[in-house]
Amino acid sequence: ANLNDGDPDNDPIIISVRAKEHYDKGHIPGALWANPKELITPEMLTKLDPDKDIVVVCYTGQAASQVVGLLNDLGYKAKALLFGMSSWTKDPNVFVKRFNPEKHAHDYPVEK
């Protein structure tokens, strides 16, 4: 899975499990939003292709890791984004404030 190779066929499914209001302020382009407590519903599972990689995103990677464990137990190929959105962007509306963006964050695009 690679978001940067220009081939959308091998893009992973991205699931953001941050609060909806934070997702709305900015998220990885194309990311689906899911409440982690309601992720395993028939409606959400129909959006997940078991043959595609799944990347789960939270604030710092901790909550995403729990969701990844559940998805992997269900047979999906899921991984957590290391350090979550705090490693994805320096955007002050999205970045996790307790980290230093100059030290931890990249400047990848966000979608609103």
List the domains of the chain with CATH numbers.
8-104 (3.40.250.10)
Q: Are 87 and 105 in contact (CB under 8 A)?
A: yes
Strands 13-16 and 32-33: parallel
Average pLDDT of the segment spanning 67-83: 94
With 0.75 as the threshold, say if the pTM is over it: yes
Residue 80 phi/psi, 5-degree rounding, is: -95, 145
The Cα–Cα gap between 102 and 37 comes to 32
The Cα–Cα gap between 110 and 88 comes to 9
Which band of pLDDT confidence, cut at 50, 70 and 90, is reported for residue 42? confident
Which of the pair, 105 or 50, is modelled with greater confidence? 50
Q: pLDDT tens for residues 58-70? A: 988 899 999 999 9
Residue 98 has pLDDT above 80, yes or no: no
Q: What is the mean pLDDT of the chain?
A: 85
Residue 14 phi/psi, 5-degree rounding, is: -110, 130
CA 102 to chain centre: 21
Question: Among 29-38, 43-52, 89-98, which stretch is predicted with the lowest mean pLDDT?
Answer: 89-98
Contacts of 3 (CB under 8 A, 6+ apart): 11, 12, 28
